[in-house]
Structure formats: C-alpha cells, structure tokens
Amino acid sequence: MRRKLQVNGSVVEYNRRTFKKFLLDNLAGMLFTLPLVLGLIIFSAIPIIQSLIYSFYRYDMTTTLEFIGFDNYANLLWGYDSAEVRGVFGRTFLYAIITVPLTLVLSYLVAVLLHQNVKGIKTFRVLCYLPCLIPGVVSALVWRSMLDQDYGIFNAILQAFGLSPIKWLEAKETAMFSMIFMGLWGVSGGMILWLAAFNNIPSTLYEAADIDGAGRVRKFFNITIPLSTSMIFYNLVTGVIGSLQVFSTFIMAGGGDGPEKSLYFIAVKIYKEAFQRWNMGYASALAWVLFVVIAILTSMVFKTSKWVYYGEEG
C-alpha cells in the first residue's frame, strides 16, 4: 500500500517495504544508540518530569505526598524561607561573578602559552591537564586537607617563613577566597577546546600580519582573540551554568555551610532540603527556580552575543 508523506513542502511516496528497508539499513546505528537513549530517558527525562511534579507537593520520600499547589514556590520567594534563599543565591552569584571571568582569562592565557611551537610542549600540555582528571570530590577533599588550619601544607609553608597561619576555611573572610582559589586548580580544563579554536585560525592571517610588520601583541588582540570568540562564548555559557551549580563547597566545608554560612550555596541548600530534611517537594521547587535563573542568564548571554565571530557567512 502506497502512502504520501509531505516533507519540506514536497510530497514523497512511500510504502511498508520502503520503511522496512529503512529500519534494516539503520538497525545497527539504532542498537548502538539505544543504551544512550534509554539512559537519557531513565536517568534524565523521567527525573526532570518527576521533580517538576514533586515541586507542587509536600513530599518526604516516605509516606507524605500532599498536593499543596504553589506553596513551595511561595515559601522560597516571599515566605518563611525567602531570606535564606536570597542569601544562598547571593553567595552563589558572588562566586560566579568572580570565578567565571577569572577562569576564562587564566585558562585562555594558559592555552595561549601552551600553543607555542617549542620543544617538549606536548609534555607541558599533559602536565597541565592532569589535575582535570581528578574527580571533583577527591579534589575537594585534597584541597580541604591542604588548607587545614593546623595540619595543612599551606600554613606549614607560611610558618616556615615565620608568618602566622591563616584560617583558610575556618573564617568567613577567607572561606570564599579559598573556594575560588581551589577552583583555579582546574583552570586548564578547557585547554583542549582552546587549542582546537587556535588551530582553526588560518595561518595565512598571521603570515599577512607578519608582512605588515605586526608584533605579537597586535596579532594576539587583532587575530587570535577575535577569531576564537566562538570558543570564548561557549566557555562563558558553560562557565555560568557550572558556577551556579557548584557543590564542592559542601565538601570543602566538611558537610556544613562554612563559617557563618559563607559557603552555603544554592546547590548545597537543594541537597540539604532533599536528603537531610527530607523535603523533596521543596527541594524540587528550589531546583526549578535555579533552572529558571540559569535559563534567563543563558538567554541574556545569547542575546548579547553579537561580538562572537563564527566565520564568513555565505
């Protein structure tokens, strides 16, 4: 039996034999992608839908499942918990405002240095990338040990030079700084992406600049940076999303909030509401508010992306 299917304004005739042939031709690819598709459905799509549903309920993950409408959202926006929510969002925004630009600039400069054509540069690239292979939890535990007030290596170095030890994670004034400093450990994480962007820049542009007598600084600002703005934009978007979801503060604070809640970020609050206070409905509402905030900020970044160069059009 022949049927007609309209595709992009044109009518295409097909039958069951054609569809069967299509399935047979693509069966291997479908089987290879099936585990990924099932994983996305089971571990991503279904939990996302469930969290949206739970955000309208009072749910303690055991027996209580009571529909309360928008009460969870009202409580976190202007209700009994609004002050604490504003506090955790404020600390998270402060961390993001400092970390994202700092990480972008430093990682970019590291990639520029590692893009030089000198002997042994591949070894330096491997050494710079090694810290990124350490899992985030392990890295946080190592840094917590290194920043320990009594036994940490940093205070041992300070005392060796006759200086007083610093309360890195034990004082409100230095806890956030310590967290930002730890985040720079993985500054070369985007090195591969940066290097790929640099390699896509035509060498003829640099050759033409050399003929015109341009120096390294001028070539850097007039060629390298403008032609790698697409990767800058990508790392900016992912940096904003990642910094607003940072959770390693929970480990750095030893499972707490830090001195005077200085390390109490929104991701930590979501975790505590869900798995310590057993208030999954409220935690789901917090997660969706965070999602909306990230979506708004990301859309703002896209709206202001006229400075990004994607190549010649047409």
Confidence of residue 313 (pLDDT cuts 50, 70, 90): low
pLDDT above 80 for 239? yes
Confidence tier at 198 by pLDDT (50, 70, 90): confident
Over residues 102-112, the mean pLDDT reads 88
Which pLDDT does position 192 carry in this prediction?
Answer: 80
Give the predicted TM-score (pTM) of the model: 0.85
What pLDDT was estimated at residue 7?
A: 46
The CATH architecture annotation of domain 73-303 reads Orthogonal Bundle (1.10)
CA distances from 106 to 187, 239, 241, 249, 278 (A): 7, 13, 18, 22, 40
Rounded to the nearest 10 degrees, how much is the dihedral formed by the CA atoms of 115, 116, 117, 120? -90
Looking at residue 3, what is its pLDDT?
52
What does the block give as tokens for 21? 């042939």
Spatial distance between the Cα atoms of 286 and 272, rounded to a whole number of angstroms? 11
Q: Is the pLDDT of residue 189 over 90?
A: no
Taking only the tens place, the pLDDT of each residue in 127-160 is: 888 888 888 788 888 888 898 888 889 999 999 9
Domain extent listing, the chain: 3-49, 73-303
Mean pLDDT of 242-268: 87
Residue with tokens 């969002």: 89
77-95 pLDDT tens trace: 898 889 999 999 999 999 9
- Beta strands (DSSP E) in the chain are 3-7, 10-14, 57-59, 65-67
Q: Which of 188, 186, 169, 187 is closest to 178 using CA atoms?
A: 169
Question: What is the rounded average pLDDT of the residues 97-113?
Answer: 90
